[in-house]
Structure 1
Amino acid sequence: MTVDDTLMDVLAGHRRGGRGDRPALVDRRRSVTYAELEREVGARTRDLASSGVGPGVRTGVVLTNLLDSVVDFAAATSLHAPVLVLQEQAGEAERSAALADFGAELSVEGAVVARLRPGGDHGGDPAFAVTSSGTGGRPKVISREWSGTLLNSAGFAHGLGLDADDVVLTTSPLGHSYAIEAGTLAVLYAGACQVVPAGALTPARAALLVERHRPTVLQSVPLVLDWWGQGDVVRAGSWKRCVSAGDALSEQAAAPWREAGLTVYDHYGNSELGQLTLNPVGGGSGVGHPLPEVRIRAGGSEPGPVAARFPGLSPVRMEAGRAVPLADEEGWVNTGDLGVFGDDGLRLTGRSDLLINIGGNKISPAEVEEVLRAMPGVKDCAVVGRPGPSGDHQVWAFVEAGAAEFDAAVLRRRAREQLMAVKVPTVFRRVDKLPRTGSGKIRRGLLIEEGG
């Protein structure tokens, strides 16, 4: 792979290597081989070119969990257009805001190519853009070089050990950067096969799908690993390993998969740079060592800001069509996380923008959450800072638990046994379900603003 490769080049390489008849992508309607996918992308490339997609033409592509939208994405990027991946579930206002921030001229959704504004200066290199998860508010549009993005996904494929015999079941919607970069791009680079289900699957439906397609790798999030681990999905199929990202992977979620003999990988990445680390032991706050070419720096003995860099990537935040650089002169990007980096790899301790200041004491929600998640009856939890009656900040814990199992007094007493008094939540509030994004991340902004 070279820095100038497109997805058409990747697909053609597999065909020339004798792998054209191997399955590439499977959705709920159909499946395609690498040779068939190459032909479909080639035809769609010609269609999009006639509609104005080309070098420097900023284009939004709505990605659904259907192969046709993957073909749209592959064709647009192969035409050297700067491409913004749009999530199918995004509301109209959110989607319009993202397109405006990106400065998109065209949008592609299904068979429709719509012009959003007159064509402008078509300079610039091919780019790949995504929207951030929006856990703390309105999603931001992050854009970076296409070549570095493809190389980063290739590094993830190497780190996870993907090869042409693997079948990867991806549970997150393809409009999320984790699913398209650590999923589709990594799978296509490796010559493997990606299975993309339609929407959320119950454990029973997942078990049937697994029996049919015999996936070897599960690419998912902690919420799904935990849910499926309680059913027959673990024992179905031909699993070899699974990888989790997007939120903290608890021991509870990882345990059933480990007990079945699978390697459970915890993965750390972000919208700015893509895939950063892998941890083949999963669970806890350790997210492992950097992937090939990734550089990480963080605190030593004490938590400090986590920064990362990857050669060929200089991400920018797009605002009203203008690019705001996110990397410093040496290419380092502040991730917004706090952590410790040493011989055991990177251990995350929380988000710098979520630290709770109680009388000058900086409290990491991640530390409190790790203690609470280990308590009986707690399915999951989120800890945030909220103003109390006097206006001073308090620690609030939103606990996902059944009404019969929830006892705030017991949780408070057990928390006092393991945490400093200032870290023990003032308020414990039970919720049936924590608010989450489509990729499973907790939407803490809603908890802070609305109190659940």
Structure 2
Amino acid sequence: MNPPVLPEFEHIAAPLAHWAARTPEHPALIEGTRVWTYADLNEAVMAARNILLAQGVIPGDRVAIMGDNTAAMIILLLGASHAGAWIVPLNPRLSEREIDEVGHHATPTCLLFATSASAKTRQHAERCNADPLVIAGLGGVAVIRTDHPARPEPDRNIAALIYTSGTTGRPKGVMLTHRNLTVSARTSGAIRAIGPDDLVYSPLPVSHILGFTGVMLGTLTYGATLMLAPRFDPPGALRAILHHHITLMIGAPSMFALLTEYAALQGMKTLPPHRLRLIASAGAPLDETVKSTVEACFGIVLNNGYGITECAPTIAQTRIDRPRRDCSVGMLLPGLEARLAGESNGIGALHLRGPTIMAGYYRDDAATASVLDHEGWFDTGDLARFHDDHLFIVGRSKEQIIRYGFKIYPVEIEAVLNAHPGVRQSAVIGRGTGAHQDVIAFVEPAADAKIEIAELLDYAARSLADYKRPTEIHLSPALPMGATGKIQKSALIA
């Protein structure tokens, strides 16, 4: 399947007008029983744009938008962008403190709430005393204007401020340009060969960079159809595969693992015939146990990828025509250059340069200068190696553990623990400072599994060098997870 030939889109909302003119009746979004054609979606985005302009939004304003995976959320995001605003997507699962922190830093002119399908969004809107805003066809929408509107920013190239998860401190606002996002969506979509015949399942939040660019923009760029899911749940995902006949699904490894586990509980060790042509893991490290288990269940290759918010987000993807048995994250996106700084034994800090690298951190020149040099090289913070032309991520440089002078990468230990039949998932962190840190593992047992810590320590010892073996293992009924299915290691206390 070859993706359609496209013009160069200079704005993230530009694909809508393109496809509305060419395939106006083709479905763009499916939300429950409602179908939005490309003509419908383009018209709704323009209507939202006009209402926001009438509300006083001008180019360079920051406009924050909160909501779950709904058509209203997407329409508000693209409508505000069409009005020239820097959009600031917000996940309703954020705490009040986190939302207030982002608001204080981004100084948005207004905050929009897509309330109709999200109880949490309604709660946040009520706390802020937001007023109803009528936009035809969108159901519940509310708005609050800031008491002291901030000055608009002069840079018209910025499309979005995406706030990072802040695992090591306060969240930072990543400034992504229209070119960053359109190039990322276009290139990653081409590698996946997305086309108008595809039905793409979307459980990842569009408020997160992967759901926003890799899934939502990637689908709309190629005139395909996006099936929205408010959040990931295994029964809903299985229905989407077997009854709605989705053709493509992108998700975190934990999502595929949970779906496989649920299918087994329903008596399906392998899925019945389906129309999925591509499944892709992204957003968190993939280990070989999950990969092989998912592939056995789905009957197709689980592709892999790697990206971070500052790179809009995709950095590398495995290719459909070059399937991998290992957990390589694939080849670099065309247009990206890479180097391994401080390389030792083939492993170094991954630095990148290219068209998808962020413009910088908003209102934080020091943080920007710490990762982005004057030649455009960006330090990802990840340790990596290349084998042939394929990239392997060894771990986060900040998560690297030093023990007895040896460098230890948590992902290796996690892969060993995850291979135990009684383990659903695990997370490894270091405790202490200097040249001797303890290796602390947190393990979430699989459903109905009974694990003895002593037995799990012995199991790890058989597969790991002595200096890599966990000092302690803690069992947890559920490891803390973010909205995208990534384990939140900052929430783990050893």
Query: When the two structures are superposed, what TM-score results if normalisation uses the length of structure 2?
Result: 0.84
Match of 2:184 in 1: 152
Match of residue 142, structure 2, among 97, 101, 112? 112
Instruction: Identify the range of structure 1 (35-44 vs 407-416) with the bigger mean alpha-carbon deviation.
Output: 407-416
Match of 1:279 in 2: 318
Asked if 1:357 corresponds to 2:396, the answer is no
Match of residue 487, structure 2, among 433, 442, 446? 442
Match of residue 53, structure 2, among 49, 61, 76? 49
Residue 156 of structure 1: SS of its match in structure 2? helix
Q: What amino acid does structure 1 have at the position aligned with 2:383?
A: L
Q: What amino acid does structure 1 have at the position aligned with 2:310?
A: E
Match of 1:269 in 2: 307
Gaps of 5+ in 1: none
Q: What amino acid does structure 2 have at the position aligned with 1:210?
A: I
Deviation at 1:385, TM superposition (A): 1.1
Residues 13-38 of structure 1, C-alpha deviations (whole Å, 9 max, x = no match): 11232x11111111235220111101
Matches within 5 A, 1:3-402: 5-17=10-22, 19-28=23-32, 30-110=34-114, 111-116=141-146, 117-127=148-158, 128-201=160-233, 203-230=234-261, 231=263, 232=268, 234-235=271-272, 237-259=274-296, 260-273=298-311, 274-280=313-319, 281=323, 284-298=326-340, 299=343, 301-311=345-355, 313-319=357-363, 324-325=368-369, 326-387=371-432, 393-401=437-445
Deviation at 1:307, TM superposition (A): 1.5
Residue 255 of structure 1: SS of its match in structure 2? helix
Q: What amino acid does structure 2 have at the position aligned with 1:398?
A: F
Residue 74 of structure 2: SS of its match in structure 1? helix
% identical equivalent positions: 26
Instruction: Identify the range of structure 1 (287-296 vs 100-109) with the bigger mean alpha-carbon deviation.
Output: 100-109
Partner Cα distance (1:14, 1:32) in 2: 13
Match of 2:138 in 1: none
Q: What amino acid does structure 2 have at the position aligned with 1:96?
A: D
Distance 1:129 1:121, change over 3 A: closer
Q: What amino acid does structure 1 have at the position aligned with 2:112?
A: V
Partner Cα distance (1:300, 1:155) in 2: 31
Partner Cα distance (2:274, 2:354) in 1: 36
Partner Cα distance (2:337, 2:427) in 1: 30
Residue-pair matches, total: 446
Q: What amino acid does structure 1 have at the position aligned with 2:468?
A: K
Partner Cα distance (2:217, 2:449) in 1: 45
Distance 1:135 1:279, change over 3 A: farther
Gaps of 5+ in 2: 1-5, 115-140
Q: What amino acid does structure 2 have at the position aligned with 1:16?
A: A
Residues 270-320 of structure 1, C-alpha deviations (whole Å, 9 max, x = no match): 010111111244675411101121222234742110112222644312248
Deviation at 1:256, TM superposition (A): 4.7
Partner Cα distance (1:247, 1:175) in 2: 17
Distance 1:194 1:398, change over 3 A: same
Residues 394-425 of structure 1, C-alpha deviations (whole Å, 9 max, x = no match): 11111111585312222222322332211111
Distance 1:306 1:8, change over 3 A: closer
Deviation at 1:183, TM superposition (A): 0.5
Deviation at 1:252, TM superposition (A): 3.1
Deviation at 1:12, TM superposition (A): 1.4
Q: What amino acid does structure 1 have at the position aligned with 2:176?
A: R
Match of 2:118 in 1: none
State whether residues 423 and 445 of structure 2, in contact with CA within 8 Å, keep that contact through their aligned partners in structure 1: yes
Partner Cα distance (1:125, 1:107) in 2: 20
Partner Cα distance (2:206, 2:166) in 1: 16
Match of 2:127 in 1: none
Partner Cα distance (1:104, 1:322) in 2: 22
